[in-house]
Amino acid sequence: MSLTWERPKSDGGGRILGYFIEKKDANSENWVRINQVPSPPNIFNVPSLIEDREYDFRVFAVNEAGESKPTATGRRITVKDPKGIRQMRLLFIFIVRLFSYSLFCLMCFGLKVTLCC
């Protein structure tokens, strides 16, 4: 999952060196720092998340003076696997096409088929 954020309006008088990102499982009180070195861009690919779990995230800006106060995402994020969702869609499309093909074949042989939805 990629996490993005906006640069702070003020850098406190020093150039921003990067950002620290922390995560917290919704059922935990402990924040875990994800990156050990400040990440320069304001986008970060968050590793080691578990699908269907909820997480809170917060970001710290870092400059020569130190770290800012954390900025939270403001909402919990539920992790979903886009590959898994895509695979489910493909399976659904395959089943629909298979069913449509079967229906077409039955109609070709003069059988009457009624669908109930």
Nearest residue to 54 (alpha-carbon basis) of 84, 29, 79: 79
Question: Per-residue pLDDT tens for 10-21?
Answer: 787 888 999 999
pLDDT of residue 101: 43
pTM listed for this prediction: 0.66
Question: Per-residue pLDDT tens for 18-77?
Answer: 999 999 999 999 999 999 999 998 889 888 888 888 999 999 999 988 998 898 777 888
Banded pLDDT at 84 (limits 50, 70, 90)? low
CATH fold, domain 2-79, is Immunoglobulin-like (2.60.40)
Q: Is the pLDDT of residue 97 over 60?
A: no
Provide the sign of the torsion angle of the four alpha carbons 64, 71, 44, 42, taken in this order.
negative
Let me know: does 46 contact 1? Beta carbons within 8 Å: yes
